A and B are shown apart, each in its own frame.
Chain A
């Protein structure tokens, strides 16, 4: 049984999705989906422990050996991402017991859970597979289910948000497919290990530059790297809050892992940074994302949209870490990936708690909430401090790694930019804190009570994690630096 865990990791949620549709009864589906999410977390945890203990696992799908068959390859790097995705899913899905997608009529909620499980399955598949074409297939499984999830938001603007997400996402996916095709044309293989062995021979050809270009543009769209982030603000704003929490915490993170794998494992750092000079493009783009995203966030009047723009800025920090091409830099990127998932997931759940009671995510309507929903708003403050990067929160840990990576390479301007953009985060977080704590609640509004326990507990698990991992860095930073060392070594 244990030797089949890599396959079960993906197959369990995928098979559970149609079961949800067959079950139909909302309560039964909810309990079932939560159990499935928890079981995927257990599988991911076991895989991470096994990998830390005894090294990379190579699983032959259906008993067919690579390169002819599809290989599932579990390394420290992707086991870390698997644990992240499944733990966020395990926290966010029970939250759904109280409210997930209440904009969806009760009798159709089972469809939301089915799409949710498919999305989880796709994300895990992208992460675990060792086959380039398989990455594309799972990427589309994830994307298609997330278009459906976004379109379940309340109001007609969710539909347009899902539509433009679909158009951009499909263009991105097709570019990746084209890149994979060009790599196959030159090497005759789709297996990642095989590709990394055979590509150096054909590296000099122009086809490889084209392949790399298509892969990068496709992944940048999926990852929402500035200036290809257009789909993200609307999708996160109009999707149901729980869906925003899940997508913000996982979808872009998995794309980041694929990017790191393409850059370091398949093409190799020497080619990407030495010959093509990706850092000369990616560092300015990351800085633009950090400043552009943060400045745009300051001017938002809607908390969800504010958090979405802040996500674009945070993705800038991650890609910046990758473009340093150093151990500290990539560790910073991978740690920030985990940390941002915790804080942004937690913050979106706070929004979900508030909209459940208040029915609005406009900053103006949040006046005086600090006294009416003290526990929820305390969670917002902690999450906000973590976004800024205050010591003892996780945000500090990842920014510490990024700044020291910049200083190591004598990029003092970049180090200064990281600190300066953190100050912009102070502005947009303060804007909400001020409204919540220092403004009188609107006159004549309905009295607003604290969110129910079933929502507060998941929110505080994620927010509490931002403090816990801020103090105990060995778990995240330790594993992340091992993962970064593995990726940088170029060993698949």
Chain B
């Protein structure tokens, strides 16, 4: 297999990547966005694994006495272990933020949250913006 079809796995990876990116852009639900981000990251992991593949290659273990063992490149797999950890951490942090946003706004839909923020601005005038940044409240004034 040569030519465009011979690279079919790259086409699949690109398709997966675009699906992920589209979900991130098009969905309003914050949890779904995180899932889209996950798919997006997974496509890159597949990309690395795909480029490590050597045709006819086995696991990179050379038995005693064997001389010519064809094996796949193990390095990208190792790199992707790290990338998976990064992905898990990102997803966990993103979902934790979703939980806190749900608690603070009572919603996980981006359009509703934006509307609430805009309404908050209109109701309290320009000063509404000041409330969120008045961050360095003296310790005694911080609610426990």
List chain B residues, Cβ under 8 A from A156. 101, 104-105, 132
Contact with B along A298-311 (1 / 0, CB 8 A): 00011011000000
Q: Is B5 in the interface zone, CB < 8 Å from A? A: no
Asked whether A163 lies within 8 Å of B133 as measured between CB atoms, the reply is no
Contact with A along B102-144 (1 / 0, CB 8 A): 0011000000010001000000001101111111111100111
Q: Is B82 in the interface zone, CB < 8 Å from A? A: yes
With contact pairs A133-B79, A171-B40, A361-B133 given, residues A102 and B90 touching in the complex (Cβ less than 8 Å): no
List chain B residues, Cβ under 8 A from A360. 127, 130, 133-134
Asked whether A174 lies within 8 Å of B130 as measured between CB atoms, the reply is no
Q: Is A378 in the interface zone, CB < 8 Å from B? A: no
Asked whether B101 lies within 8 Å of A184 as measured between CB atoms, the reply is no
Interface centre among A105, A151, A156 (most CB of B within 10 A): A156
Q: Is A46 in the interface zone, CB < 8 Å from B? A: no
Asked whether B97 lies within 8 Å of A151 as measured between CB atoms, the reply is yes
List chain A residues, Cβ under 8 A from B134. 154, 355, 359-361
List chain A residues, Cβ under 8 A from B41. 170, 174
Contact with A along B82-109 (1 / 0, CB 8 A): 1100100110011001101100110000
Which residues of chain A from 228 to 243 have any CB-CB distance to chain B below 8 Å in the complex? 237-242
Q: State the interface size on chain A (CB cutoff 8 A).
A: 54
List chain A residues, Cβ under 8 A from B79. 133
Q: Is B47 in the interface zone, CB < 8 Å from A? A: yes
- Partner-contacting stretch, out of A72-80, A85-93, A140-148, A248-256: A140-148
Asked whether B100 lies within 8 Å of A160 as measured between CB atoms, the reply is no
The complex places the Cα of A359 from the Cα of B144 at a distance, in Å, of 18
Min Cβ gap A64→B in Å is 13
List chain B residues, Cβ under 8 A from A356. 136, 138
List chain A residues, Cβ under 8 A from B136. 99, 102-103, 240-242, 352, 355-356
Asked whether A166 lies within 8 Å of B94 as measured between CB atoms, the reply is yes
Q: Is A101 in the interface zone, CB < 8 Å from B? A: yes
List chain B residues, Cβ under 8 A from A239. 135
List chain A residues, Cβ under 8 A from B21. 171
Q: Is B30 in the interface zone, CB < 8 Å from A? A: yes
Q: Is A167 in the interface zone, CB < 8 Å from B? A: yes
Q: Given A99, A101, A133, A304, which contacts B133 in the complex, CB threshold below 8 Å?
A: A304
Asked whether B44 lies within 8 Å of A178 as measured between CB atoms, the reply is yes
Q: Is B24 in the interface zone, CB < 8 Å from A? A: yes
Given A144-B89, A155-B131; 6 other pairs, CB 8 A cutoff: A156-B132, A158-B132, A170-B94, A174-B44, A355-B133, A355-B134
Interface residues of A (CB under 8 A from B): 99, 101-103, 105-106, 133, 136-137, 140, 144, 147-148, 151, 153-160, 162-163, 166-167, 170-171, 173-174, 177-178, 181, 184-185, 237-242, 301-302, 304-305, 352, 355-356, 359-362, 364-365
Q: Could you list some 26 contacts between A and B, CB below 8 A? A: A101-B135, A102-B137, A105-B144, A106-B139, A133-B82, A144-B89, A144-B90, A148-B93, A153-B135, A154-B131, A155-B135, A156-B132, A160-B113, A162-B97, A166-B94, A167-B94, A170-B90, A171-B21, A181-B44, A184-B76, A185-B51, A304-B133, A305-B129, A355-B133, A360-B133, A362-B127
User: 10 tightest CB-CB pairs across the interface, nearest first?
Assistant: A155-B132, A156-B104, A154-B135, A362-B130, A359-B134, A157-B132, A355-B136, A103-B135, A356-B136, A360-B130
